């Protein structure tokens, strides 16, 4: 009883470590992260990290799986929803990505970098090839049979995600402030569907 009360208010140590690990891993990447940094960020001792998660590697595996699920899993189902029109899918994907990335701006650079460092290891977990037979591809082929559907999938994801990859550059260079970046990102939720729609007209 006393214990469950504590858990409801404070975070468990395991939870504190996981949250610190997320933060440090996504910001610096696996190789540049030291377990000491995570321990310090979690406000605990280094030994405790190995007590809960046997190794840096194991801890990373857990974080990475969650991040992969978040990055791919949030929008992947939208592509294969048979109850939506093409326009609805496009809006749903753009909004889904932008809303998510406004909360986790450095998710894409982290996930894509770590995949690149170890493609076979992580991609085997996620059945991405499904998009080839998705409702989305089927709809694209009927409306624009002259172009490979991958073009438009790339376009939607590019326009939604890449601004967040450029964010550190744009802000450090003084081209946008964090405030205007956020405004622009929000505007794009409505703009991207309009733009894609214009692209789809032959």
Which residues form the interface with a copy of itself (CB under 8 A)?
A: 27-32, 106, 109, 112-113, 115-117, 119-120, 123, 126, 128-129, 131-132, 147-148, 150-151, 154-155, 157-159, 161-163, 165-166, 168-170, 172-176, 180, 184, 187-188, 191, 195, 198-199, 201
Burial class (CB in 10 A: 0-12, 13-18, 19+), 74: middle
The candidate with the shortest Cα–Cα distance to 19, out of 98, 104, 76, 118, is 104
Regarding 6 and contact with DNA (CB under 7 A), the answer is no
Given the complex with DNA, which of 63 and 185 has the nearer CB atom?
63
| 36-42: long-range pairs with CB below 8 Å, 24+ | 42/13, 42/16, 42/17
Given the complex with a copy of itself, which of 82 and 202 has the nearer CB atom?
202
169 binds, among DNA, a copy of itself, none (CB under 5 to 8 A by kind): a copy of itself
56 binds, among DNA, a copy of itself, none (CB under 5 to 8 A by kind): DNA
| Residues 6+ away with beta carbon under 8 Å from 107 | 26, 67, 70, 71, 100, 101, 164
Regarding 15 and contact with DNA (CB under 7 A), the answer is no
The candidate with the shortest Cα–Cα distance to 194, out of 77, 72, 87, is 87
Site for DNA, residues 50 to 109, rule: CB under 7 A: 50-51, 54-57
From the CB of 135, what's the least distance to a copy of itself, in Å? 16
184 binds, among DNA, a copy of itself, none (CB under 5 to 8 A by kind): a copy of itself
From the CB of 54, what's the least distance to DNA, in Å? 6
| Residues 6+ away with beta carbon under 8 Å from 141 | 149
From the CB of 161, what's the least distance to DNA, in Å? 29
């Amino acid at each position: 009883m006393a214990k469950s009360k504590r858990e409801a208010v404070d975070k468990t140590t395991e939870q504190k470590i996981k949250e610190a690990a997320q933060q440090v891993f996504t910001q610096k990447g696996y190789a540049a992260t030291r377990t000491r940094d995570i321990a310090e960020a979690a406000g605990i001792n280094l030994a405790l990290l190995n007590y809960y998660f046997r190794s840096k590697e194991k801890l990373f595996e857990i974080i990475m799986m969650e991040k992969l699920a978040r990055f791919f899993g949030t929008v992947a189902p939208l592509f294969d929803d048979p109850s939506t029109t093409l326009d609805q899918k496009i809006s749903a994907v753009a909004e889904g990505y932008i809303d998510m990335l406004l909360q986790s701006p450095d998710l894409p650079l982290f996930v894509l970098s770590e995949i690149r460092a170890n493609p076979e290891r992580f991609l085997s977990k996620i059945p991405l090839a499904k998009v080839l037979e998705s409702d989305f591809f089927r709809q694209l082929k009927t409306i624009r049979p002259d172009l490979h559907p991958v073009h438009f999938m790339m376009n939607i994801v590019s326009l939604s995600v890449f601004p967040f990859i450029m964010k550190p550059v744009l802000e450090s260079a003084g081209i946008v402030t964090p405030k205007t970046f956020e405004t622009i990102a929000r505007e794009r939720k409505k703009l991207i569907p309009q733009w894609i729609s214009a692209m789809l007209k032959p």
